[in-house]
Structure 1
Amino acid sequence: MPNTNAIEGGADLLRRHALFHKINDAALERFLNVLQVETFQNGDAIIREGETGNRLYMISSGRVVIEKKVFNKEAITSERIAVLQKGETFGEMELVDTQPRSATVRALEDTTCLSLSREDLQYATEDDIMTFSQVVMNLAREISLRLRNTDVWLAGSLFSIRQKD
């Protein structure tokens, strides 16, 4: 399952990414063999809310916007949740569960990502339980951080709504 796309920066690029924190050089090389380089043009939907998927994306250049459908009495709208840039990740939950995508992610400019599927993760770590455990712990930290940020945002939103009443 070798990756025919050369990844600029190689192991050094991965070493700087939170998902690969404390991962040894041999394991980083295995990941370099399964990561896919994907490019998107400004406006492209990279993932769509409600669809199923199995890939995590790490932004290597460009920016993306995360949008969430909001249902109100008049219509369904799409609200901007966050803007992510180089070095940040989205789609983490897809490596953990098989639920539909929770948001839409769209390129705000020409964007390049490295992507990793559940199968890629298993392939890169199949004989290395220590690396698998470390990546899963790193993944859990990223999801936990997102949850904490969402909690802060939600609490602020609820406070703002109550102030209007």
Structure 2
Amino acid sequence: MAQSPREDADMGALDQVDLFAGLEPEQLAAIAGSARLRVFARGAIIVSEGDEGLGLFVVQRGALKAFVVDDSGRELTLSLLGPGEYFGELALLDAAPRSASVMALERCELLQISRAAFLAVVEQSPTLMLTLLRNLVRRVRSLTDSVRALALVDVFGRVARLFESLAVERDGHWVIERQLTQQDIANLVGSSREMVNRILRDLVIGGYVSVDHHHIVLHRKLPARW
């Protein structure tokens, strides 16, 4: 369950959000002034698929996942979200229902910007909308690449793509800092846990990766094919 909104949010987080890249300081300050800090406990559903879309959420602290569930109850994880990332951006422009659900994987602090407050800022600074649309187009192109990978790349290729996108360098090693279970990986790449298990086993045996308490370390470049 969400705690009561807090008004003492650190609005500096917005200048790290790529959706707002290129905005003038006064434009960013105006958006920040319309934001509220919301705190959610682990396991809380922030938005549900089909809900009315009322605005944008920016992650300040914590981890979340965006997901959809099909008619048979099978879940597909669309993305993992951490500080500086955001969701619900299309709700700034239209009133269509939410296209996915988002759940807190740990305690989270989110900045919420309502569509009404955002449009009020745009009225004062119309050029803001053009910058926002350019950034949204860039995001749509990235999502298109992700969909193409799901459709045209085999499961191993999707796992390799996922690992390489999540890994960060730490003390000379490439580490996936987010804890991922085999089911989490399967949900992210649109496969079964059993298939992911076989791929991980072979990567470990081949010395490409190691797994410790759901943390994955990449020791060398992953092979081009399985």
TM range (shorter): 0.7 to 0.9
Distance 2:15 2:110 in 1: 16
Give the AA of the match of 1:23.
L
Cα pair 1:49 1:101 within 8 Å, conserved: yes
- Equivalent position of 2:45 in the other structure: 45
Cα pair 2:14 2:84 within 8 Å, conserved: no
Give the AA of the match of 1:123.
A
RMSD: 2.5
- Equivalent position of 1:109 in the other structure: 106
SS of the equivalent of 2:147 reads: helix
Distance 2:142 2:92 in 1: 16
SS of the equivalent of 2:149 reads: helix
Aligned residue pairs, count: 154
Distance 1:82 1:116 in 2: 21
1:85-96 to 2 correspondences below 5 Å: 85-96=82-93
Distance 2:85 2:147 in 1: 16
> Are 2:19 and 1:7 aligned?
no
Provide the TM-score with structure 2 as the length reference. Answer: 0.61
1:59-98 to 2 correspondences below 5 Å: 59-71=59-71, 75-98=72-95
Aligned CA distance change for structure 1 residues 96 and 15 (closer, same or farther; 3 Å): same
Q: Which has the higher contact order (CA 8 A, sep 6+)?
A: 1
SS of the equivalent of 2:127 reads: helix
Distance 2:94 2:137 in 1: 12
Distance 1:81 1:63 in 2: 14
Aligned-residue offset at 1:157: 6.1
Give the AA of the match of 1:69.
V
Cα pair 2:6 2:38 within 8 Å, conserved: no
**Residue among 112, 115, 118 paired with 2:115:** 118
Aligned-residue offset at 1:4: 7.0
Distance 2:22 2:126 in 1: 14
Provide the TM-score with structure 1 as the length reference. Answer: 0.81
Give the AA of the match of 2:118.
L
Aligned CA distance change for structure 1 residues 41 and 34 (closer, same or farther; 3 Å): same
Structure whose CA Rg is larger: 2
SS of the equivalent of 1:146 reads: helix
Give the AA of the match of 2:116.
E
Cα pair 1:39 1:110 within 8 Å, conserved: yes
Structure 1 stretches (4+) deviating beyond 4 angstroms? 157-161
Aligned-residue offset at 1:133: 1.6
SS of the equivalent of 1:122 reads: helix
